[in-house]
Structure formats: C-alpha cells, structure tokens
Amino acid sequence: MKTGHTFVKPLQRAALARATGCNLETIRYYETIGVMPDPPRDPNGYRSYSEYHVRRLQFVMRARDLGFSLEEIRGLLTLVDNDTRSCVEVEEIALAHLKDVQNKIAHLVRIEAALSNTLAHCSGTDVPECAVLDALLD
C-alpha cells in the first residue's frame, strides 16, 4: 500500500443528509445563507460533497445544537477558516453561552420543583398553581 490516504467517494445531497442527520432541504438553505460553501457540481449540475463538507456541516449542526445562532456560527467559522483562531475570541463566545445555559438550567430546576410540588398537592386544594407562576416569575 502506498499511503494511508483513503479516497472517500463524493456524496450527493441526500447522502450528505444521511451522513450528518441534517434535513435535506436545510443543506440547501445553509448554502444560500452562506454557512455552507457552494459545493462543486458534477457535469450534470448535481452537488458533489466531500469529507470536508461532512465535517463542516457537522460543525454547524453541533453548534446549532449547543444554541449558537447562525450569525454566531458564521463568526466561529471565519475563526476556523482564517487560521487566526485566537482562543480568546472563541472563549468569549462560548463562555457567554455557558453562562446563559447555566441560568436556564437554574430556572428550569425551580420550575421542575414547582411542577412536582403541584402534583404532590393535587388533592383538590386551590393553591398550588401559584408555585408554577412564582417559579417562572422568579
């Protein structure tokens, strides 16, 4: 064997969707808004995706899943692309998100307590709904 180099056959759109779990149409959407690059086309006009596109789409999806907006993802991608990946910038964005997520968790835990409290008191008394409201209102 010459190298460890493996040829990965190019993927069409549905194959990329299957490979990443992304919705078929969303791939085209990400292309039109510039989050995914315009892929090369086969002579017939079909999109031809490589391993690069799989990784990039996974990046986008993972970041979306973590709650980053497409605008933030565009920012992260330029940091990835230009190798000016100063950790500081990324850390700023990610840290802000972490705090946001932690706040959300704290609130949800209070709501959880209020809801299970509601269920515990569900014997016909007319008070418990206030707990839910209070939890949501702080």
Partner DNA sequence: CCTAAGCTCTGTAGGTGATACAGGCTCAAG
Partner DNA sequence: CTTGAGCCTGTATCACCTACAGAGCTTAGG
Where do contacts with a second copy occur on this chain (CB under 8 A)?
Answer: 55, 58-59, 62-63, 65-67, 76, 79-88, 90-91, 94-95, 97-98, 101-102, 104-105, 107-109, 111-112, 114-116, 118-119, 122-133, 136-138
The answer to whether residue 12 forms part of the interface with DNA (CB under 7 A) is: yes
Binding mask 61-90 for DNA (x = CB under 7 A): ---x----xxx-------------------
What is the distance between the alpha carbons of residues 20 and 119, in angstroms, rounded to a whole number? 40
Residue 108 interaction partner, one of a second copy, DNA, none, beta carbon < 5-8 Å per kind = a second copy
What is the distance between the alpha carbons of residues 67 and 73, in angstroms, rounded to a whole number? 10
What is the distance between the alpha carbons of residues 58 and 100, in angstroms, rounded to a whole number? 23
For residue 31, give every residue at least 6 positions away whose Cβ sits within 8 Å of its Cβ, in sequence order, or none: 37, 38, 39
The answer to whether residue 54 forms part of the interface with DNA (CB under 7 A) is: no
For residue 119, give every residue at least 6 positions away whose Cβ sits within 8 Å of its Cβ, in sequence order, or none: none
Kindly report the number of other CB atoms within 10 A of residue 88's CB atom: 7
CB of residue 67 vs DNA: minimum separation in angstroms? 9
- Residues lying near DNA in the complex (CB under 7 A): 12-15, 22-26, 28-29, 33, 41-47, 64, 69-71
